[in-house]
Amino acid sequence: MYDQTNPVLSNFCFFLRRHSIDELPQLINILRGDMALVGPRPLLEEYLPLYNNFQRKRHQVRPGITGLAQIQGRNAISWEKKFDLDVWYTQHISFSLDRKILLKSLRAVWSPINVREQGLHDHEKFRGNPPLLNVQL
């Protein structure tokens, strides 16, 4: 999205990304039934083997265009916090919660915060969890 040789295109792409307009094509996935408006954001397939049992619970619901993690900090929160919010959502899913998330998401689109300015990279790559120590008491 960043091209030093074409600053007009770069500015246009930055505007699309900053205001999440680049997410609109996902509406096709909603119409097909592959996604929901609200739910945990889909992550890269390469992350699947890195999830622990708790993090896998985020797959109990359809992925969404927006979710609890997006309105709670977008790119400014850690992977652990994102997974905690995603799993909490799956355990507390309701129409009223979805409505609140949608309203806050719309507000975030008009007033974008926590969008990375430099290079428009989303977030650092998920590297999995440190191995748990087997402690015997």
pLDDT at 120 over 60: no
Q: How far apart are CA 42 and CA 39, in angstroms?
A: 9
Query: Is the Cβ–Cβ distance between 90 and 60 less than 8 Å?
Result: yes
Q: Which of 58, 100, 102 is nearest to 80 (CA)?
A: 58
What is the reported pTM? 0.70
Q: What is the pLDDT of residue 9?
A: 64
pLDDT > 70 fraction of the chain, expressed in percent and rounded: 77
55 pLDDT more than 90: yes
Per-residue confidence (pLDDT) for residue 62, from 0 to 100: 95
Nearest to 113 by CA among 83, 81, 77: 77
Per-residue confidence band for 134, with pLDDT thresholds at 50, 70 and 90: very low
pLDDT tier at 67, thresholds 50, 70, 90: very high
What is the band of 14 on the pLDDT scale with cuts at 50, 70, 90?
A: confident
Query: Can you spell out the DSSP letters for the chain?
Result: ---TT-HHHHHHHHHHHHTTGGGGGGHHHHHHTS-EEESPPP--GGGGGG--HHHHGGGGS--EEE-HHHHTTGGGS-HHHHHHHHHHHHHS--HHHHHHHHHHHHHHHHS--S---STT--SPPP---PPPP----
Q: What does residue 73 show for φ and ψ, rounded to 5 degrees?
A: 155, -5
Query: Average per-residue pLDDT in the chain?
Result: 80
